[in-house]
Structure 1
Amino acid sequence: MGKGASSSSPPPPLSESVMKKILLSYAYVAIWICLSFTVIVYNKYILDKKMYNWPFPISLTMIHMLFCSSLAFFLVRVLKLVEPVSMSRDLYVSSVLPIGALYSLSLWFSNSAYIYLSVSFIQMLKALMPVAVYSIGVLFKKESFKTQSMANMLSISFGVAIAAYGEARFDSWGVILQLSAVAFEATRLVLIQILLTSKGITLNPITSLYYVAPCCLVFLFVQWMIVEFPMLKQTSSFHFDYVIFGTNSLCAFALNLAVFLLVGKTSALTMNVAGVVKDWLLIAFSWSVIKDTVTPVNLVGYGLAFLGVAYYNHSKLQALKAKEAQKKPVQADEEAGRLLEEREGEGMGRKNDPQD
């Protein structure tokens, strides 16, 4: 009877500290989803010809980078809220410059895609990010080639291809822009791992904006002078709306801080999973509020891609668990070794003690 009662007893309630951590994690996820959602829809509103009708993606990205650079400089140099990282000129040129250049191209192309494609279809194309990161990681020898992983990547690509086939408002140029943005962003992420993380340099969002945003702004300025400046000169009737562009830039800056909170307080894997939830919410919002056409073939294709991404995240989680499991025996062996050394030391001390 006693054994039966104990086996059927409910599990002990979670402690207050554990509950607090869980609630905080959900709060970080909710904040990131909300801000990411806001920035995407806000950018779409500004750039789309049927809405605010200001189709200048490089100019919009430059406004974001100028705002982020100025605010980051103010927080680091004036208020001194965070300490700048010790970085030599050679390290800045070899590491930060290429990352800034790729960031400028990624932002330019991703914002440009909103002029030609619906929000829902762009989110479907973004499902190819794990494919791009894995492929570039293999190319740069940061990832090992595995048949199972490649099959997973092909399944995601197949799902996205079906979604593209069923897209009612398909635009070849918009697709090229978005796929280019995914490729540049994936390369940037791999280079961050190679150029900065491998050298022991970690940047929080404020210091990363402090170093990367001005560099990105310079590259954007070169692109802007060639592509958009001649067109803006002809648009003499345009006046700068401080409310629209100010709040839009503030949302972009807040999103960078939210990314740091989410990854720093939880993990990059949590952000990947939250990203899938955000994509579904954006697709639903795009269909119900913006009135973008979402076809059944779209949903079937993205559903297949979603399953592939979910499996990718599951594989990453299992790999992390296996890595943690390997660390524990090593730590236990080290602890046992230290105890053995201490005991041997005590034994030697007793043998050499005249009182023994």
Structure 2
Amino acid sequence: MSTARHCPKKPLLPTGLDLASNATIHSFKIPPQRLNLKSNKENYTPNVSWHPATTRRRPSLLQQRAYHHEPYPPAFSSNKLRLPPCTPKTAPSHCSVQLPESPAFWLAMYFCFNLGLTLYNKGVLLHFPFPYTLSALHALFGTIGGSLLVKYRCFVPSRPSPQKVAILLAFSLLYALNIAVSNVSLQLVTVPFHQVVRAATPIFTIFFSGLLLDSHSSRARKISLIPVVAGVGFATFGDYYFTFAGFLLTLFGTVLAALKTIFTNLVQARKAKPHAALFNNPLELLYFLSPLAFIQCALMAYLTGELALVRHCSMTGFEILALLVNGCFAFGLNIVSFGANRRVGALGMTVAANVKQVLTVVCAVVIFDLTITPLNGLGIGLTLVGGAWYALIELGEKQRARNA
């Protein structure tokens, strides 16, 4: 037999009874003191105190929270500013970081990152001869950087439609091939020869723009490219040691660079309608492209046997740090390249790239203590004059189109 003491449960309802109805607007409650009942069971009348319904006591906040399930009503919140929670669905769809719109700013940043990364990649490939793995590293840093930007609310990526997914898959292949072929060709040829062949990019840009987009450049623009291409050739005249495979890969990389420039400008173009572009934000385009490019570059590194060689490669802490900084440079160049392409245009970007090639030669002369011949100086001058000429022609055409 259990000797446990039975304790009656306290009622959950308050002691007051609300009898308010359509006919009654008052309530009564039994006073807290107990009534002395007579042992002879005589009839008695309890002492009832009447209180208006408006003055009856409400249960405490602690009692309400003890028997209440989330969410609490706004009346129970101590915060006067009540806002809905921020989720990807309720967050604004525009980029919260206001990027500059000046083409001069983006071109200056493009020069700095492109120039630095070209020299940096050449130095890295001398001690880390794995171009596909280096390309996968660049794409990996783009993936990590894009994910961090999304995490810290720098922009909110939209949900890609089936049309966007198909375009992303095709463009990611071109994006990955351009990175990989550029690194492979840079390993096989010298920097001057690499810059000379890349100087033919504007020619391929004009050709593919007319072939694929039915976009024809003016005669003045085409003439302004002559001193640019010739100037780069003169500026980089020197040691032209190369292999036939290196020449073909460098030429193929030039074609890929022209196609990448055209399609990057195409998927971000918004000339007719502000919202007609597939990707209005270059960060969003980089966020979707980088994981696909990383998978493709890693697959190429695996198929060529580079990953097996990387596993047996011993590296110092300084070399690992140099690779990490190189990946950060590549991520910055991708952001600047997409942003500048959208604001400058496809052909303008190729001319800017050619001017960058001359600056690369100048920096190489300063860094590696090279000599500049009079022919090299003539080439540098021709390229700078041709780039300025093209910029003036483009500015005049835009002003005439705006005034028309």
Alignment TM-score > 0.5, same fold: yes
Q: Secondary structure at the match of 2:128?
A: coil
Give me the whole-angstrom Cα distance separating, in 1, the residues matched to 2:206 and 2:289.
Answer: 24
> Superposition pairs for residues 62-77 of structure 1, below 5 Å?
62-76=136-150
Aligned residue identity for 2:164: L
Does the aligned pair in 2 maintain the 1:28–1:258 contact within 8 Å? yes
Shift of 1:213: 0.8
Matched, 1:34 2:106: no
Matched, 1:91 2:170: no
Match of 1:283 among 357, 361, 386: 361
Q: Secondary structure at the match of 2:153?
A: coil
Which segment is superposed worse, 59-68 or 305-314? 305-314
Q: Percent identity?
A: 23
Aligned to 2:205: 133
Matched, 1:185 2:257: yes
Aligned to 1:214: 291
Q: Secondary structure at the match of 2:199?
A: helix
> Superposition pairs for residues 292-331 of structure 1, below 5 Å?
295-300=373-378, 303-304=381-382, 307-326=385-404
Quote the RMSD (CA, aligned, Å): 3.5
Considering Cα pairs closer than 8 Å and 6+ residues apart, tell me whether 1 or 2 has the greater RCO: 1
How many aligned positions are there? Answer: 296
Matched, 1:117 2:189: yes
Aligned to 1:244: 322
Shift of 1:80: 2.8
Compared with structure 1, are the counterparts of its residues 155 and 262 closer, same or farther at alpha carbon in structure 2 (3 Å cutoff)?
A: closer
Does the aligned pair in 1 maintain the 2:221–2:394 contact within 8 Å? no
Q: Secondary structure at the match of 2:239?
A: coil
| Bigger Cα Rg | 2
Q: Secondary structure at the match of 2:279?
A: coil
Compared with structure 1, are the counterparts of its residues 270 and 304 closer, same or farther at alpha carbon in structure 2 (3 Å cutoff)?
A: closer
Does the aligned pair in 1 maintain the 2:103–2:344 contact within 8 Å? no
Compared with structure 1, are the counterparts of its residues 41 and 160 closer, same or farther at alpha carbon in structure 2 (3 Å cutoff)?
A: closer
Structure number with higher helix proportion: 1
Aligned residue identity for 1:54: F
Give me the whole-angstrom Cα distance separating, in 1, the residues matched to 2:147 and 2:250.
Answer: 31
Structure 2 portions without partners, runs of 5+: 1-99, 271-275
Aligned residue identity for 1:313: A
Does the aligned pair in 2 maintain the 1:127–1:306 contact within 8 Å? no
Give me the whole-angstrom Cα distance separating, in 2, the residues matched to 1:81 and 1:147.
Answer: 42
Give me the whole-angstrom Cα distance separating, in 1, the residues matched to 2:312 and 2:179.
Answer: 23
Give me the whole-angstrom Cα distance separating, in 2, the residues matched to 1:323 and 1:127.
Answer: 29
Structure 1 portions without partners, runs of 5+: 1-21, 327-356
Deviations 1:67-91 (A, max 9, x none): 1112212322x32321113421342
Does the aligned pair in 1 maintain the 2:141–2:327 contact within 8 Å? yes
Give me the whole-angstrom Cα distance separating, in 2, the residues matched to 1:31 and 1:159.
Answer: 23
Aligned residue identity for 1:82: F
Deviations 1:108-166 (A, max 9, x none): 121223323343443343332221211110111331276665555566555556667x4
Give me the whole-angstrom Cα distance separating, in 2, the residues matched to 1:161 and 1:184.
Answer: 20
Give me the whole-angstrom Cα distance separating, in 1, the residues matched to 2:310 and 2:323.
Answer: 19
Matched, 1:100 2:172: yes
Does the aligned pair in 1 maintain the 2:143–2:290 contact within 8 Å? yes
Does the aligned pair in 2 maintain the 1:129–1:186 contact within 8 Å? yes
Matched, 1:170 2:247: no
Aligned to 1:329: none
